[in-house]
Copies of this chain bind each other. A is one copy, B any other.
């Protein structure tokens, strides 16, 4: 049997970075300690370390380091320490599309971050030496009416506020694909297919397939099923008359209130994100199910 190989990655030789930015999940002693391990090693390797402004606010011990902002002029190498939420927030704010991000897991969850606690020093050394592969991930751009809200890596969730039925119409490239009376709908990317959408009944999408997954949430229309839509399609969700209160959640990071008549548009984001991978995706399905089965 052949080995799975990813097409959309690049492993050309690269120069060592002079500066690396660090972002961490707030309120976690594991994250804090990991950051200090990273800082110590970067010092030894002669790489300048900047700490994200927002991160520094949450940790006394990080306040004396030079700062940077993700949305202003971030470095082109970034290390994220935490869970999926921290990574999602980083990419949502990151203003520099060519930055490469490395993820260190601190905590139980964190499917997208592949460096474990025990290997922090080895992988940071690899990151500085350029010994990794860059994977690009397809993202979605979300609008409320004409207003651009940003790009997301996982999902846009349109959901009831008070468990009262909302009413939605979903259009794919202008064609009505679903009428939903229920809790809401999830529009997910390939990456997001293993997150919220999976719990709501969506399929697992192989990381090499670029698609949108449109997953209805607890609809009265029992015959509805998730839809796999092309990555270049335009998905519009309209809030229709009679709907109860609802909101839009972007990657679980930003919440926006919606009302009847609102149209949320989701389409391919022009800028993918770039993640450094030290282990290949050779075990995607095993990792997926192992993670899920640790929950009981």
Contacts and interface: CB of A to CB of B under 8 A. Distances in A.
Contacts of A221: 223, 292, 295-296
Interface string A209-234: 10101000111111111111110011
Interface string A195-210: 0101111111110110
Interface in A38-88: none
Interface in A168-207: 171-179, 181-183, 193, 196, 198-206
A292 B218 contact: no
A228 B199 contact: no
In the complex this chain forms, how many copies of it are found?
A: 4
A225 B203 contact: yes
Contacts of A295: 179, 181, 220-221
A200 B219 CA distance: 8
Contacts of A228: 193, 203-206, 209, 211, 228
A117 to B, nearest CB: 19
B211 A211 contact: yes
A252 interface: yes
A24 B80 CA distance: 57
Given A230-B209, A283-B175, A284-B175, A223 B225 contact: no
Contacts of A222: 198-199, 222-225, 292
7 contacts: A2-B173, A4-B172, A162-B249, A175-B283, A198-B222, A206-B229, A221-B296
Closest 8 CB pairs of A and B: A1-B174, A222-B223, A4-B173, A203-B226, A199-B218, A177-B285, A223-B223, A205-B228
Interface of A: 1-5, 157, 159, 162-164, 171-179, 181-183, 193, 196, 198-206, 208-209, 211, 213, 217-230, 233-234, 236, 247, 249, 252, 255, 282-286, 289-290, 292-293, 295-296
Given A1-B171, A206-B227, A209-B228, 6 more contacts: A163-B247, A175-B284, A176-B286, A183-B199, A209-B230, A220-B295
